[in-house]
Amino acid sequence: MAVSMKGKDLVSIHDLSVEETWQILKTTEQMKLRWKSGERDRPLVGKTLGMIFAKPSTRTRVSFEVGVWQLGGYALYMGTGDLQLGRGETIYDTGSVLSRYLDGIMIRTFRHQDVVDLAAAASVPVINGLTDLLHPCQGLTDVYTVYEKLGRLAGVKLVYVGDGNNVAHSLMFAGAKTGMHVVVATPPGREPDPGIVQTARADAALTGARIDLTHNPLEAVEGADVIYTDTWTSMGQEAEREQRVRDLAPYQVNQALMRATGRPGTLFMHCLPAHRGEEVTDEVIDGPNSVVFDQAENRLHTQKAIMALVM
């Protein structure tokens, strides 16, 4: 596989070709194997990644910062208080200036359009570390983790249960690019964005993947290879918390839902942080089928692959 991705932005998994998606997954696999065996890849020696954080994060900051260092480069943390963005400088001016200093930019923020605008302004690769609409690094990590555990992606049934949020959107895109059967089970009124669903289904038509929506979690998980959930209340949604908990309570991943798959080996995944006792019970997240901490580790390896390929 020899697809050149140098200089490419990662704003959405939809923007990747099937070949580029697999290039990231196979590079992740190779980098992880080499790191575990003691080999050290250092393709970013002398390069700097600027990291813009409008939303704080444990996994995103640590995995990117450590990943850049492991690849021989330097990571520069920039909170909103460290930039003139908070004082009225435009995204265009910020992207144009940072491009003169940096070799790549990772941004984790609220408005998806800000990432789109930054990528348009910057002359260096821009990596979407999360927006309210999409979480592409997480989605790629997730399908890599499934591939690592099951040895395949084509035809794998992954059922996402909960709120139709940015993680659900990126799972649909990632599944569509890799031939998976992705089912999203949400309460009425909390479905994924219709435009994302339509686009993911168009991508799925090219690979034989399937994207299905339902309101019935018990029917959704029948025959599932993977059950996936996320926190019910994301950052910035705290005012809606009580209503969200009421709406989503029937969608908790517990032992009864895991048994409803009819398969003893169904994997459990969660992008973390988890609100134990809400979207998932301790019994499931700490159980033998849970791969959440392997999944969290794989953020490091997947993002290293992305940076090595685009920077």
- pTM for the whole thing? 0.96
How far apart, in whole angstroms, are the C-alpha atoms of residue 39 and residue 35? Answer: 5
| Catalytic position from the list 181, 299, 301, 303 | 299
| Catalytic position from the list 103, 230, 244, 270 | 230
Angle between helices 18-36 and 136-150 (to 10 degrees): 70
Whether 138 is catalytic? yes
Residue 93: what pLDDT?
Answer: 93
Residue 80: what pLDDT?
Answer: 78
Nearby residues of 145 by Cβ (< 8 Å), 6 or more positions away: 269, 291, 294, 295, 298
Residue 165: what pLDDT?
Answer: 97
| Catalytic position from the list 108, 112, 181, 244 | 108
Question: What's the CA dihedral at 80, 83, 85, 88 to 10 degrees?
Answer: 120
| Catalytic position from the list 23, 138, 252, 303 | 138
Residue 1: what pLDDT?
Answer: 54
110-143: burial string, b at 16+ Cβ within 10 Å, e else: eebebbbbbbebbebbbbbbbbbbbbbbbbbbbb
CATH H-level superfamily of 136-296:
Aspartate/ornithine carbamoyltransferase (3.40.50.1370)
Phi then psi for residue 20, to 5 deg, are -65, -40
* 13-134+299-310 CATH pick, 3.30.365.10, 3.40.50.2000, 3.40.50.1370, 3.40.50.970: 3.40.50.1370
* Cβ contact 235:131 at 8 Å: no
Whether 135 is catalytic? yes
pLDDT along the chain (311 residues), means of 10: 90 98 98 96 97 93 98 94 78 95 97 97 98 98 98 98 98 98 98 98 98 98 98 77 92 98 98 97 98 98 98 98
| Catalytic position from the list 137, 271, 295, 303 | 271
Residue 82: what pLDDT?
Answer: 80
Residue 86: what pLDDT?
Answer: 59
* Cβ contact 270:285 at 8 Å: yes
Instruction: Find residue 160's DSSP bridge partners.
Output: 184, 228
For the sheet with 126-130, list strands across it: 74-79, 48-53, 104-108, 126-130
Tokens found for residue 63: 């995995």
* Cβ contact 158:183 at 8 Å: yes
Tokens found for residue 20: 């580029």
| Catalytic position from the list 59, 112, 135, 169 | 135
Length of the chain: 311
Residue 89: what pLDDT?
Answer: 87
3-state helix, strand, coil split of the chain in percent (to 5) is 45, 15, 35
Whether 299 is catalytic? yes
Whether 108 is catalytic? yes
How far apart, in whole angstroms, are the C-alpha atoms of residue 261 and residue 74? Answer: 45
Intervals of CATH 3.40.50.1370 along the chain: 13-134+299-310, 136-296
Whether 212 is catalytic? no
